[in-house]
Amino acid sequence: MIPKRNKRSELVHSSEAVRDMIRDSLIRRNWEQDRSVLGVITLVYDHSQPQLLSRITRLQHDCHDQIISSTHVHVDHDYC
């Protein structure tokens, strides 16, 4: 089962496939039991893009019941 899943997901290592199967199973079980689930979205962006930061902030405010936290990390001079 792992090699088949591994090939379909284009994963390099079978340990990644196992991790993904466990995660998928846990998430599916929580959804089926109508329980809350948690997710993380990571964005890497060029902060010099016009209006980008204001658009991100507006999105966070518009979705305040779903986006409960944000972190700003500097990757290098241009990217956050």
pLDDT of residue 13: 65
**How many angstroms separate the CA atoms of 7 and 12, rounded?**
8
pLDDT in tens, 57-77: 999 999 988 888 888 888 888
pLDDT in tens, 29-52: 877 887 776 778 888 888 888 898
Which of 6, 37, 8 minimizes the C-alpha distance to 19? 6
Question: What is the residue extent of each domain of the chain?
Answer: 1-36, 40-80
Q: How confident is the model at residue 4 (pLDDT cuts 50, 70, 90)?
A: low
